[in-house]
């Protein structure tokens, strides 16, 4: 059934809710080790210092926790595709978590190889495309991770990507306005 893809992504909101206090309080510093362990390709980092084991574990845990919590609510369960609903949150939550974390890595790799520092942008046409893609890159990761359970229709992938990009941009602008970010986008 089409139109349910964006609902499948709702538990992903647990990722930043779990990650924000960990970053703010510099909690679990022993896990703040880069995923790439400093490895390079062509003299440039794979992912950089901002993609850490701490982030992967906390983002993933937040996604799974939100999956479990939301699955308890009938209004949420009713909006899920049958395959995802019947799999249960302990099965689709970890797949969402893998998709969220893994979905961001290709874009980070590409930016590092192009010499774009973490948190920085290039305002060329290709740079703007990367900025937009960066806001919703994990949607494709989630799509791929959920394939063992459910094949999200491409229309739903596009809709979910557009919603995620729009929401992410608004959050970025608000974060900048309140001083939590250095740049608006």
Helix, strand or coil, per DSSP, at residue 44: strand
pLDDT in tens, the chain (185 residues): 457 888 999 999 999 999 989 988 999 999 999 999 999 999 999 999 999 999 999 999 999 999 999 999 999 999 999 999 999 999 999 999 999 999 999 999 999 998 888 777 888 888 888 888 888 999 999 999 999 999 999 999 999 999 999 988 888 888 778 877 777 77
Residue 129 CA to residue 133 CA, distance in Å, equals 6
Residue with tokens 């390709």: 41
- 153 CB-near residues (< 8 Å, 6+ apart): 2, 5
Specify the 3-state DSSP secondary structure of 45: strand
The pair of three-digit structure tokens given for residue 159, joined into one six-digit string: 């809709």
Q: Give the span between the Cα atoms of 184 and 182, in whole angstroms.
A: 7
The pLDDT of residue 1 is 45
Contact in structure between 82 and 149 (CB atoms under 8 Å): no
> What is the structure's pLDDT at 127?
81
pLDDT of res. 26: 94
**What is the per-residue pLDDT for 2?**
58
């Amino acid at each position: 059934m089409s139109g349910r893809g964006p609902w499948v992504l709702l538990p992903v909101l647990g990722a930043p809710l779990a990650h924000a206090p960990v970053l703010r309080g510099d909690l679990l510093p022993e896990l703040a080790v880069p995923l790439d362990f400093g490895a390079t390709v062509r003299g440039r980092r794979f992912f950089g210092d901002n993609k850490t084991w701490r982030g992967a574990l906390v983002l993933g845990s937040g996604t799974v926790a939100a999956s479990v919590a939301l699955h308890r609510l009938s209004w949420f369960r009713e909006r899920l595709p049958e395959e995802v609903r019947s799999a249960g949150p302990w099965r689709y939550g970890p797949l969402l978590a893998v998709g969220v974390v893994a979905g961001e890595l290709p874009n980070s790799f590409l930016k590092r190889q192009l010499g774009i520092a973490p948190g920085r942008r290039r305002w060329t046409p290709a740079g703007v495309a990367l900025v937009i893609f960066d806001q919703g890159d994990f949607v494709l990761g989630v799509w791929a991770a959920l394939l063992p359970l459910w094949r999200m229709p491409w229309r739903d992938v596009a809709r979910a990507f557009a919603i995620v990009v729009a929401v992410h941009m608004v959050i970025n602008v608000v974060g900048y306005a309140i001083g939590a970010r250095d740049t608006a986008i």
